[in-house]
Structure 1
Amino acid sequence: MALRKLVAGNWKMHGLSADLAEAKAIAEQSKDYPGVDVALCVPSILIERAARALPDFTIGAQDVHHAEKGAHTGCISVQMLHDAGASLTIVGHSERREAQRESDEEVKSKATAALSCGLAVILCVGESLEVRERGAAVETVVGQLDGSLPHVLSSETELAIAYEPIWAIGTGKIPTVDEIAEMHSAIRQRLRERFGADGDQVRILYGGSVKASNAVEIFAIADVDGALVGGASLKATDFIPIVAAAASSSGG
């Protein structure tokens, strides 16, 4: 049975109070596609305002700290995100793995902390162009997944994996259909090996220059259960057609 599609927008370091109008437009227009789960991961300064303005829409964060509290200047805990109104967080995005030098172990600790406190998680993995060109993409991503996954999943856990080829993020380039299918199949197989039947319930999203013009083709690939969308999630006119493509692919 196909999993319900999830289309999540990652606003990255974009968004001020005035941009909440776009979030409202996205939330309102998403109601036309009730068979798709839609979310926006906004900058931390907007989480509370967005959640307050859109009480029936999923607002997420872009990162979280693994500790409950403490001397972690500039960091945000799971409890703080809950308090602000977030119900989802991204962990392990390639831009944090690279710029903030986050390790697999750090990503795992963040995912574990969030899931254990009832916050849904989108855990990101992906390879560089150099890794792809030397034929080690699958090996590298599966290894990254192994190091980043929490040890245990409960039946209530809401975990999604986002495969993001680093070289495709914001470039307009995407892997071929066969390359995406190969990677998503490898991720699914590893999830089954780690979690048994529960591994089939973990959604695998594709991320990396997803837009209206390629969304239909991407969503038609086996084990593509949604998308993590960057730049195209900033405007309803760009984002909603992707949601519509997800709905079309799943009959909803």
Structure 2
Amino acid sequence: MNPASLHPLLWRGKQVTHRIHTLSTGHASLDEALPGGGWPTGAVTELVNAAPGCGELSLLLPALARLSRKNRWIAMIDPPWIPCPAALHDRGLALEKLLLINTSNRNESLWACEQIVRGISGGAMLTWPGSLSFSELRRLQLAAKHTRQSIFMFSDQTAAKASSPATLRLQLAANDGDLQISVLKCRGRRPVSGIRIRRSQLLQPMPQSIPDAVKSGPLPAASAELPEISPQGSRNDQLSL
């Protein structure tokens, strides 16, 4: 049988069936375990952790810093803490490209997610929604595909066994101060566990001149001005499903 005739999402060992656009995570051991060698762009990555503060933001900072230095917007929606600007700057993040958004309820959070996905091309959105239904998450997944935006959604431990349309799902846990990672779901490769990233690596300062780590060509151009996220509906409206 011709492998090209198989369904593009069918897992075939180490052979990835379709081209995957990725952004290096900045961590060699994690890149090696992920299809395409990094975070999928134009997709949702779900990060499942027992409690905030295990190193989840530090895990993402190398990739976020690279995007911000390429004039891409980084949006954080409803983080459980206030990010430290000095620490973000030390890790290479261009603070002028950071959008911090706090909402007052679940409907506003969903509304903000949709507007950011529509208004930013090629950047990244981090969101802490508490919980999303399968259909709500699928809506974000489809929207991200059209804008080539990377969406990182943080979920609690109860979501680990639930079905999810996210392209990539990782489970994070603290282990003697280091970060332990298990791949729960990925496209094009068998899930793995036991990936360990040392705390010293997570906290390592980034150089101010950061090379391009996008493996599939340049991202779409982004405006130097604040992105346009004018609503197409009321803030009280949920994602149109």
TM-score by length of 2: 0.38
Asked which structure has the greater RCO (Cα within 8 Å, sep 6+), the reply is 2
User: Taking structure 1 as the reference length, what is the TM-score of the superposition?
Assistant: 0.37
Higher strand content, 1 or 2: 2
